[in-house]
Structure 1
Amino acid sequence: MKNKTGPDTNNKFMARGVFWVCRMFLLLAVLSASGCEYEGDMISLRNKKTAASPTINIGVVWPLTSTYKSFVNGVIMASDEINLSGGILGKKLKIYLKDDESSVTKGMVIADEMAADPEISAAVGFCDSYVTIPVSGIYDKAGILMITTSSVDPSYNSFKSPLLFRTTATAVDISCKIAELIDKLGFKNLSICYVTDNYGLSSANAFEDELQKLSISVVDRRSYSSGNAAEFKQITDCWKLLNFDCAVFFGYPSGGPQFIESIRREGILAPIFCGDTMNYPDFIKHVGQYSEGIIVTSLFNPLDISSAKKSKFVSEYKNRFGILPDTHSAQAYDAMKLLAEAIKRAGRAAPPDIAKALRSFKKEEGVVNNYEFDEKGEALNEKLILKIVKDKKFIYLDSTNETDLIKNILIKRK
């Protein structure tokens, strides 16, 4: 694959190397500074205490004031349903809700607090990959089962802990989906913009690897950190001088709308594809007039009520919260239900037994996916969905209509 020269393209492999070396030192530091005291006797004590506890104790860790705060609605709804139906093994489910504020430091403090409580069986949530990766070692060494519903960095659980699970797609899965559609649309040259953290870099690297397989060229690849106007202007000033068929953005709601507005204001009308982090309820409101034709990755379609379980969830969620559920609320709901079912099958809430039960699932029905897990705790058969903004509303795409719908909408935009 030929790549024209851009600041990030020239240094792609150096950036990867530095990034992974820094990550390795960070993880080693975390493992040595935190969690070591929880090995051995503490893990044995946890297995006994969780089994004997009068309640089933689950930690929920999430940035509670973030754009994705609907996650908590899914946790509340699932836990209420579980407790109203008699609990698990005759015990009530008790939730310890913690706000990590999207901060590594805060996330590690919370992990240490939970690790010190021998009655906590599992922890669920973990929105940001750059927080999830370093704290995962603490939960593992403390013997706590951990489920991330949102972090996509492929390096999660690189040390193959039997207690770590992921119920969402990885950056590789998401990149494959976007690249596949770009190839179907016949686009051969594109530009990439990504945020400089675990999520952005792992997504951009995975995406570029997929493009290489499809002989699609990267005209320019740019990263950003603060997401301010000056930073995005540097990118748009460069892109105005280049010819490309489409652009791909891996970033957050805190900078995404500004990026889209920046390139549209400069007259760059190329189609824009966004990763899953731009899949949030207020996306169209925040991007405004520039949202038309933007394509976003998702894992959940609330309008698809093809199964009785999904139909019931969507209906009851809307009745309770006044809005349709989104990906994060649905993933939270599924994670809590999966835990409850695994504990029920295990016959007790000891983390190793829960992990064994989770791995025994064969297409366990949820509202987002039918779940199975591989040896690394990765969910199999994740179904990724793409949606496009048309007339200030999202239109969900599938393999039968996606290329025609996108082409028609893009033609009208021109």
Structure 2
Amino acid sequence: MQLLSFKSLLATAAALACAAVSAQEQVVKIGHSGPLSGPNTFAGRDNDNGVRLAIEELNARKISVGGKTLKFELVSEDDQCDAKTGVAVAQKFVDSGVRYVMGPYCSGVTIPASRVYDNGGTLVSTVGTNPKITQSGYKNLFRIVASDVQAGASMAAYAANVLKAKKVGVIDDRTAFGQGLADEFAKEAQKLGMTVAGREFTNDKATDFMAILTTFKAKQPEAIFYGGYAPQAAPMARQMKQLGVRAKLLGGDTLCSPEMGKLGGDAVNDVVYCAYAGMLMDSDAGAKAFQEKFAKRFGQNPDVYSPFYYDQVINIGEAMQKSGSIDPAKVGAYIHQNAHKGVMGEYAYDDKGNRIKAPVVVMTFEGGKAKPLASY
């Protein structure tokens, strides 16, 4: 009996100790909505790692708000870059009390899901680039990269002023991201005096572009702009080489992914040009340090967007500390009013949640790896 009583006392003491610790902690869930399956899995998992690395660092800092130490927890969901799935993920996050969400990755998911998040009082930080995303007036929605307007215009300027293109073709994958980006490129190309020789369409599951490319080969544009993702752009570059299409293949920052070199081989070298919405890793000490830290933690270099996800999670954590609150409304107001210096430059937002002066770098490929050419 005495032994049982002693064990009981130990159990009670342990339970009280745990209760005391939990009373001094405040759990903050950070959701991540992205493609964790399908052709863009590489991007979704990279973004997930960016969020994870930031959460680990914030937890190590032991940030205190209201006398309690914040304990950040990552909750990831696969939205498959599908609008219906993404809306269901958004509702799941809202219903389970997740008030901070990183993503979605795809504009076509972000546009419908953002209404659910806004109704649920959730702060959203997306890399969706379609201009429509921030035109709905949601107060706590932030675009953490350059928009299609910035990226498309930068690529058009490079095509006109550096590549000296007079005639361009335009292809998009009919997604909100791809079509929006292609629209902005075409609009700016015409402003700069270039002729848009044709506008063709595909989809984000396609692998055969021979018919489209044969059409453009006959029109002989100096450049073809593709609004879409790397899993389609890489085989497109291969098929351009097979057909003897001499045009350059241009695109947004999704084409700056290392996946282009992996999937496209030598067909991408000095042919693919992309507008990367960020700073150059090797030319900035802070960005290079992040790259090394990321590689050490995950065994691979970061892809396109993980540095932005990392920056914004750190921004959110510091905003909680400085505002003295974990309320998304107060944290969002603080982020709107105060700039944050991160790996990918300064994060300052306009009243619609667009990032002000987001850096854009035009890159090409050499030896299967992206190489910087010009900054905008």
TM-score under structure 2 length normalisation: 0.86
Distance 1:301 1:365 in 2: 12
SS in 2 for 1:96: strand
Q: Aligned in 2, Cα 1:354/1:387: closer, same or farther, shift over 3 Å?
A: same
Q: Aligned in 2, Cα 1:311/1:265: closer, same or farther, shift over 3 Å?
A: closer
Q: Note if contact 2:253-2:304 (Cα within 8 Å) is conserved in structure 1.
A: no
Identity of aligned residues (%): 23
Out of 284, 291, 296, the residue aligned to residue 274 of structure 2 is 296
Out of 87, 105, 118, the residue aligned to residue 108 of structure 1 is 87
SS in 1 for 2:133: coil
Q: What amino acid is aligned across from residue 350 of structure 2 in structure 1?
A: D
Q: What amino acid is aligned across from residue 110 of structure 2 in structure 1?
A: T
Distance 1:384 1:302 in 2: 10
Instruction: Tell me the residue number matched to 1:191.
Output: 169
Q: Note if contact 2:103-2:110 (Cα within 8 Å) is conserved in structure 1.
A: no
Instruction: Tell me the residue number matched to 2:112.
Output: 134
Q: What amino acid is aligned across from residue 205 of structure 1 in structure 2?
A: D
Instruction: Tell me the residue number matched to 1:67.
Output: 42
Matches within 5 A, 1:166-185: 166-185=143-162
After superposition, the C-alpha distances for 1:266-299 in whole angstroms (9 at most, x for unaligned) are: 1111122121122222211210121111212213
SS in 2 for 1:278: helix
Q: Aligned in 2, Cα 1:302/1:216: closer, same or farther, shift over 3 Å?
A: closer
Q: Which runs of 4+ in 1 moved over 3 A?
A: 226-230, 300-303
Instruction: Tell me the residue number matched to 2:29.
Output: 57
Q: Note if contact 1:121-1:349 (Cα within 8 Å) is conserved in structure 2.
A: no
Matches within 5 A, 1:286-325: 286-293=263-270, 294-301=272-279, 303-307=281-285, 309-325=286-302
Q: What amino acid is aligned across from residue 320 of structure 1 in structure 2?
A: R
Q: Aligned in 2, Cα 1:242/1:305: closer, same or farther, shift over 3 Å?
A: closer
Residue 225 of structure 1: how far off its partner (Å): 2.0
Instruction: Tell me the residue number matched to 1:379.
Output: 355
Q: Note if contact 1:297-1:384 (Cα within 8 Å) is conserved in structure 2.
A: yes
Distance 1:275 1:226 in 2: 15
Larger Rg: 2
SS in 2 for 1:132: helix
Out of 62, 81, 104, the residue aligned to residue 86 of structure 1 is 62
Q: Aligned in 2, Cα 1:226/1:252: closer, same or farther, shift over 3 Å?
A: closer
Matches within 5 A, 1:127-166: 127-148=105-126, 150-166=127-143
Distance 2:231 2:290 in 1: 29
SS in 2 for 1:160: coil
Distance 1:399 1:199 in 2: 22
Distance 2:134 2:217 in 1: 41
Distance 1:325 1:229 in 2: 26
Distance 1:114 1:280 in 2: 29
Distance 1:188 1:353 in 2: 50
After superposition, the C-alpha distances for 1:328-379 in whole angstroms (9 at most, x for unaligned) are: 11011111111111111221111110111001113x2100120111000111
Q: What amino acid is aligned across from residue 202 of structure 2 in structure 1?
A: Y
SS in 1 for 2:32: strand
Q: Note if contact 2:175-2:204 (Cα within 8 Å) is conserved in structure 1.
A: no
Matched residue count: 344
Structure 1 gaps, min length 5 = 1-51, 401-414
Residue 146 of structure 1: how far off its partner (Å): 1.0
How big is the alpha-carbon RMSD for the aligned residues of Structure 1 and Structure 2?
Answer: 1.9
Q: Aligned in 2, Cα 1:263/1:381: closer, same or farther, shift over 3 Å?
A: same
Q: Is 1:391 aligned with 2:367?
A: yes
SS in 1 for 2:301: coil
Distance 2:291 2:204 in 1: 36
Distance 2:241 2:288 in 1: 38
Residue 179 of structure 1: how far off its partner (Å): 0.8
Q: Note if contact 2:171-2:202 (Cα within 8 Å) is conserved in structure 1.
A: yes
Instruction: Tell me the residue number matched to 2:255.
Output: 278
Residue 223 of structure 1: how far off its partner (Å): 0.8
Structure 2 gaps, min length 5 = 1-23
Instruction: Tell me the residue number matched to 2:75.
Output: 96
Distance 1:399 1:97 in 2: 34
Instruction: Tell me the residue number matched to 1:24.
Output: none
Instruction: Tell me the residue number matched to 1:213.
Output: 191
